[in-house]
Amino acid sequence: MLLVTLIGLRRRRYVILRALGATRSYIALVVGLSATLLMTAGCGLGLVLGWGGSLLVSKIIAGQTGLAMNPQPGVEELGLVGLMIALALYARSFWPS
């Protein structure tokens, strides 16, 4: 949803690039790279914020109950982030150039 909104907001920029002589494939490349960058940044930020939130909650729980937890991202979480980025790149290969 955010991606569709951002593309709509940047439509004028793409029209200006097209008027300046950019090819359709170049515009598609710019749109695809910005979508991939947004997806990658979102995955990374979500992983960091989720890890930070879980550390904060574990400190609160440890202070109230004495139950110590040590949350940290494991191979599964990093694999899911990699999978989401790979799916974004794969979906990009189907966009018309």
Token couple for 12: 């004028």
User: What are 30-45's pLDDT values in tens digits?
Assistant: 887 887 888 888 888 9
Check whether 63 has a pLDDT greater than 70: yes
Q: Tell me how far the alpha carbon of residue 8 is from its chain's centroid.
A: 18
Confidence of residue 21 (pLDDT cuts 50, 70, 90): very high
Cβ(97)–Cβ(33) under 8 Å?
A: no
Cβ(31)–Cβ(17) under 8 Å?
A: no
Residue 84: name the closest of 52, 51, 44, 53 by CA.
Answer: 44
The residue ranges of every structural domain in the chain are: 2-92
HSE-CB for 53 with a 13 A CA cutoff: 6
